[in-house]
Amino acid sequence: MRKTLSLCLALAMVLTMFVGVTALAEGEMTAVGTPRSETLVMECQSPTDNPGQFNPYMIGSSMGFGVHQLMMSHLWEMDTAAGEQFGEIADGMPEPNEDFTKFTVKLRQGIKWSDGEDLTADDVVYTFNMIKTTEKGISMTAYLNTILDSVEKIDDYTVQFNMVSSFPRLTQVFGVTIWGNSYRIVPEHIYSKLEDVTQFKDPNPVVAGPYTVKDFDPNGYWVLYELREDWMQSTLGVAGAAYYGYTEADTPAKYVWVRALGDDTTRQMAMINNEVDLLCEVTPEMLDYMRSQNDKIACWYNEFPYATSDDPCSKGLVFSCGQGEPWNNKYFHWGIALAMDFDEISLGIFDGAGRAAAFPIITATSSGQELYYKPLLDWLENEFTIELSDGTVLTGADVWDPEYAFRMAEFKEIEGDEDYLIDMFGVGCWKYNPEAAEKLFIEAGLEKKDDGWYYNGEKFTIEMSYLADTEAQAGRGVQAAYDQLSKFGFDVTIVSKSSASWDTDGSTGNFQIAGYWPFNFITKDIYDKIQGFDADLIVPVGERANGQSCRWDNAEATEIIHKLAGIDPNSEEAYQLGLEFLKIAIEDLPMIGFHSGVKFVPTNSSIWEGYPSADNAYNGPWWWWSCFKYIAPRITLVK
């Protein structure tokens, strides 16, 4: 017995040593067999369900798994630092006719597909015609046919889009504005030979972007991309040279290994051990721990608040107005807003980090704050009123708190001038005013008794819900709001929903107050962000909505949306209408914003450096967006 045990132990030790020595002998190689000094390792948040499927027009292709960041190309891409689109395949912006029914689009010359073929008008015309005529299998087909009549080749590098009717926002629909865009140009000389493009997995894609697939995990955990030798003839080389001034000297990493890292513990360990250079979003607690273990790990800012506040999707509370009274009552909405102490909410979410973004629908990214928040402050502070039936008139001073940034800065011991602090913490928040909140609730039909609030003679309860699986900012916001409303005296319950039911409940309006995020902002023209709030799209609770999940019904707002649909998105009129729309939304307050999108996106400078940051803000830290290919040349090997 003893002999057997000793033998087993000895064998185990030999095996362990063998594995250890093998691991050490591998030196600076990655687990996929590439030199670490040539491989940028980037995280993708979940494995792909469709490994080896790179056809962007096959349902289920995971574009965020490096596919659209490194290989795909659009007509127009987004410069997230400047907040403007630029031509990627298109050479500049389109030239519309007077009534926006025809657009002439010049294409960049010199872009080659990875098999050496030129990218020309034939590819663009083929792509759009393919989408239009593939009746089954491409999800955009039906919609494209309602807006695009035809697309014609004028010459090898010019195409003309003929729209069904006036359509001023061509670049917003066919180009990237935030994460990516579904209209990706594919090679005509490959795809036109297929019997059914929707069944073609395309495991060895021919692409116009700078990278091609070198290897992938058949179980979907990783994809290894290799830089094209002729990357200067890719969209990065051609559009990047024209727009960003990139040259051969800016050659990006030879390999990009995009991998899913599993649970948060593993993600942290991998980054601390320099096994990954770029992570997607983490919580501030995770960042804090990783920084304490590896001083090369950083975030957008080197110190508090660490996170960038420029993610366009912000978080807050949404009322399901379709549920009827009092959920659709503006006095009720305002009562909720003023019953909560935003300082405590802010500290509860990310310890005070983030730019306050109180307005509904439009969030306070840097440009959103400049274009929509600051211009409305004068109206809010001096003209805005809420009149109650008891004669009380609440003014801007009763509802708006412009001191939040300075208070939070003092609390967090942040120094800086007014502009700096407002950029960090925002222009203000809804005021904590419980007395006014109480009056507003009474105006909305609620009644306060010794044991709480009543509505129509029955105890009034509020159910708040949030998505449990992801989106820490949204979840923590709802939890903090739950604490505030409970403290105020409401009988509140909180429901954590899984992603399985979250979207369905959102679409059917099956919630009372929830942490959905219909708040965003990226371009000055806000039409595509507000078009879903058209009251004509509202369907009863229980039916699936195509527009807003909150079912906010406002005729004035709808009229503005209809007007905006037909006018030049770059005109002053469009901008003024956007401001008017926002005033109406503030008056009704169908949703309450907390912060703009606060993202803790860690980078590791042990092997690679030059990532975008607050000190070097040449782009946003959006590794999962299609614009990543234009970030890659700035990321260089540590010398």
CB 181 within 8 A of CB 626: yes
Part in contact with another protein (CB under 8 A); list of ranges 272-280, 317-325, 331-339, 612-620: 272-280
Q: Show contacts with another protein in window 311-350 (CB under 8 A).
A: 312-313
CB of 501 to another protein, least distance (A): 4
Q: Is 541 in the site for another protein (CB under 8 A)?
A: no
Nearest Cα to Cα of residue 388 among 428, 438, 340, 425: 438
CB of 412 to another protein, least distance (A): 30
Q: Is 263 in the site for another protein (CB under 8 A)?
A: yes
Task: Return the number of other C-beta atoms located less than 10 Å from residue 221's C-beta.
Answer: 18
Q: Is 565 in the site for another protein (CB under 8 A)?
A: no
Q: Is 131 in the site for another protein (CB under 8 A)?
A: no
Q: Is 564 in the site for another protein (CB under 8 A)?
A: no
- Residue placing its CB nearer to another protein in the complex, 1 or 555: 1
Q: Show contacts with another protein in window 360-399 (CB under 8 A).
A: none
CB of 128 to another protein, least distance (A): 15
Sole binder of another protein in the list 6, 14, 33, 82 (CB under 8 A): 33
Q: Show contacts with another protein in window 152-171 (CB under 8 A).
A: none
Give the residue carrying structure tokens 């005033």. Answer: 583
CB 537 within 8 A of CB 562: no
Cα separations (Å) of 542 from 322, 505, 511, 516, 519?
Answer: 9, 8, 10, 17, 23
**What CA–CA distance (Å, rounded) separates 249 from 255?**
17
**What CA–CA distance (Å, rounded) separates 59 from 28?**
38
**What CA–CA distance (Å, rounded) separates 376 from 155?**
47
The alpha carbon of residue 88 and the mean position of all alpha carbons in its chain are separated, in whole angstroms, by 20
Looking only at the bridges linking them, the beta strands covering 458-459 and 446-449 are unpaired
Task: Return the number of other C-beta atoms located less than 10 Å from residue 593's C-beta.
Answer: 27
Sole binder of another protein in the list 534, 585, 599, 605 (CB under 8 A): 534
CB of 80 to another protein, least distance (A): 13
Q: Is 496 in the site for another protein (CB under 8 A)?
A: no
Q: Binding residues for another protein, how many (CB under 8 A)? A: 81
Sole binder of another protein in the list 122, 217, 351, 587 (CB under 8 A): 217
Task: Sort residue 626 into left (φ over 0), alpha (ψ -120 to 50) or beta.
Answer: alpha
Q: Is 505 in the site for another protein (CB under 8 A)?
A: yes
- Residue placing its CB nearer to another protein in the complex, 64 or 590: 64
Q: Is 77 in the site for another protein (CB under 8 A)?
A: no
CB 443 within 8 A of CB 331: yes
CB of 40 to another protein, least distance (A): 16
Q: Show contacts with another protein in window 2-21 (CB under 8 A).
A: 2, 5, 16, 19-20
Q: Show contacts with another protein in window 178-197 (CB under 8 A).
A: 178-182
Q: Is 540 in the site for another protein (CB under 8 A)?
A: no
CB of 272 to another protein, least distance (A): 8
Q: Is 507 in the site for another protein (CB under 8 A)?
A: yes
Q: Show contacts with another protein in window 288-317 (CB under 8 A).
A: 312-313
Sole binder of another protein in the list 13, 31, 82, 194 (CB under 8 A): 31
User: Which tokens is 65 given?
Assistant: 């798994």
Sole binder of another protein in the list 162, 165, 247, 266 (CB under 8 A): 266
312 upstream amide cis, omega within 30 of 0: no
The alpha carbon of residue 98 and the mean position of all alpha carbons in its chain are separated, in whole angstroms, by 33
CB of 632 to another protein, least distance (A): 20
Residues sharing a CB contact under 8 Å with residue 505, sequence separation 6 or more, in sequence order = 465, 497, 511, 514
- Residue placing its CB nearer to another protein in the complex, 443 or 534: 534
Q: Show contacts with another protein in window 429-458 (CB under 8 A).
A: none
Sole binder of another protein in the list 25, 116, 193, 218 (CB under 8 A): 218
Part in contact with another protein (CB under 8 A); list of ranges 236-244, 284-292, 416-424, 492-500: 492-500
**What CA–CA distance (Å, rounded) separates 161 from 15?**
66
CB of 357 to another protein, least distance (A): 14
User: Which tokens is 592 given?
Assistant: 């309450």
User: Which tokens is 439 given?
Assistant: 């009056």
Sole binder of another protein in the list 27, 60, 116, 245 (CB under 8 A): 60
Nearest Cα to Cα of residue 569 among 175, 106, 159: 175
**What CA–CA distance (Å, rounded) separates 101 from 96?**
7
Q: Show contacts with another protein in window 243-262 (CB under 8 A).
A: 259-262
- Residue placing its CB nearer to another protein in the complex, 29 or 82: 29
**What CA–CA distance (Å, rounded) separates 482 from 503?**
21
- Residue placing its CB nearer to another protein in the complex, 64 or 396: 64
Q: Show contacts with another protein in window 608-627 (CB under 8 A).
A: none
Q: Is 463 in the site for another protein (CB under 8 A)?
A: no
Task: Sort residue 589 into left (φ over 0), alpha (ψ -120 to 50) or beta.
Answer: left
**What CA–CA distance (Å, rounded) separates 27 from 33?**
11
Task: Return the number of other C-beta atoms located less than 10 Å from residue 68's C-beta.
Answer: 27
- Residue placing its CB nearer to another protein in the complex, 511 or 630: 511
Q: Is 59 in the site for another protein (CB under 8 A)?
A: yes
**What CA–CA distance (Å, rounded) separates 12 from 9?**
5
Cα separations (Å) of 172 from 63, 77, 163, 445?
Answer: 19, 10, 14, 43
- Residue placing its CB nearer to another protein in the complex, 486 or 531: 531
- Residue placing its CB nearer to another protein in the complex, 173 or 397: 173
Q: Is 568 in the site for another protein (CB under 8 A)?
A: no
**What CA–CA distance (Å, rounded) separates 257 from 251?**
16
Cα separations (Å) of 160 from 102, 105, 148, 563?
Answer: 7, 6, 11, 26
Per-residue interface string for the shown chain with another protein, residues 133-152, x marking contact by CB under 8 A: ---xx-xxxxx--x------
- Residue placing its CB nearer to another protein in the complex, 252 or 597: 597
